[in-house]
Amino acid sequence: MRTTRPLYREVLKDAGLITWRNKHLWPFGFFAAILLSGSPYDLLSRCFYFVTDSAPDFSGGSAALTILKTTGEVLAVGFRGGLIWSLPVLIAILLVIGAALIWLSVVSQGALLSAISAEEEKKKPNLQIFFQRGVKHFWPLLAVNVLLRLSIALAALIAAAILTPAAASSNPAFQAGIVIAFLILLPLAYLAINIAFFAEMGIVRFKERLGEAIRNAWLLITRHWLVVLETSALVLLIDIALAIAATVAATLFSIPFLALFLLALLSRSLLVFWAVLTLFILTITALILTVASAAVTFHYSVWVLLSERLRKNDPVIAKIMRLYDQIKNAVRR
């Protein structure tokens, strides 16, 4: 009978402890989530809807004319409103802000990976060093993010080409095909994100080059693909539990504000009403951002710890295989 240490329990428990003990890493988790989504479902659905919503309608052969007409109307409005001269400035500002957010997101990813690896090795925390490592590995980490989105977008594009015509059909078989295709794409999205995590880990932790890191991540996942998918399923369940807990917490937080809203209405003061409303929005937003930042930090902790321990070549058997062995031995008796 195959036996092994309880890998999932160890990884999830240690990741939870690291996340809770190191709340100073949560801001890194917040910025890291700008590019690398915490949820494969979120990333896949975004890419799929982007492809389906932005795909031009060639049925009438007028997609190009429609684009040109819309662009002309926008420029005409700009000229009439005198805003056309400020358009380059606005574009430049948006590009600078976007580039800054991308840079901060990628650097935060590297800092998180470095910090969690140091925690695993029982080293003293040093946020400045962790941040510097993120800066040092910016370009290869950015390349991993780009490749991840390109791979998911390509899969979504292929799926959209097949499923969009099927979605317009009322045939139940086509509708069932859409569900099956999405269920197939979801674990593929998980694998793509896991490869990205493991590749980034190779770059930051093991000083591997981009190609070498991606190759080693692929080999690690193909060797332990069932373990990785089972871990992904557990992380998904934890995400669902966190979402439910955040919803319950937001509901509980809203109860005192209901009383404040009633008092604001009774006072008939518009200023008091807007003050209560602003405080309510800020409180709920802070709660959601805190939970999301902690969740992303937890995700990174799980995959860093799993990558570290899988690389040690310790015997790791998937839970489903252990259950299979237990059932087989029970039947033989």
DSSP secondary structure, 70-122, as one string: HHHHHHHHHHHHT-TTTHHHHHHHHHHHHHHHHHHHHHHHHHHHHHHHHHHTT
DSSP state for residue 224 in the 8-state scheme: S
| Integer CA distances (angstroms), 277 to 90, 259, 261, in order | 31, 12, 8
Helix (H, G, I), strand (E, B) or coil at 333: coil
Residues 319/299/103/123 CA torsion (nearest 10 deg): -100
- 201, 233, 237: which is closest to 217 by C-alpha? 201
- Residue 285 corresponds to which tokens in the numbers above? 């937003």
Of 78-87, 186-195, 302-311, the poorest mean pLDDT is in 78-87
Rg of the chain over all Cα atoms, to the nearest angstrom: 24
DSSP secondary structure, 283-331, as one string: HHHHHHHHHHHHHHHHHHHHHHHHHHHHHTT-----HHHHHHHHHHHHH
Residue 174 or residue 244, greater confidence = 244
Mean pLDDT of the region 278-304: 89
Q: What is d(CA 120, CA 123) in angstroms, rounded to the nearest whole number?
A: 8
Residue 158 binned pLDDT confidence (cut-offs 50, 70, 90): confident
Residue 165 binned pLDDT confidence (cut-offs 50, 70, 90): low
Q: What is d(CA 184, CA 273) in angstroms, rounded to the nearest whole number?
A: 49
Q: What is d(CA 318, CA 324) in angstroms, rounded to the nearest whole number?
A: 10
Q: Is the pLDDT of residue 224 over 50?
A: yes
Q: What is d(CA 225, CA 229) in angstroms, rounded to the nearest whole number?
A: 6
The domain locations on the chain are 7-332
- Residue 262 corresponds to which tokens in the numbers above? 């009633």
> Residue 42 has what pLDDT?
58
> Residue 321 has what pLDDT?
62
Mean pLDDT of the region 175-188: 71
Residue 239 binned pLDDT confidence (cut-offs 50, 70, 90): confident
Q: Is the pLDDT of residue 118 over 50?
A: yes
> Residue 314 has what pLDDT?
60
- 320, 296, 295, 312: which is closest to 229 by C-alpha? 320
* Mean per-residue pLDDT over the chain, rounded: 78
Residue 231 binned pLDDT confidence (cut-offs 50, 70, 90): confident
Question: What is the length of the chain?
Answer: 333
Helices 87-120, 172-205: crossing angle, 10 deg rounding: 70
Q: pLDDT, tens digit, for every residue of 268-281?
A: 788 888 888 888 88
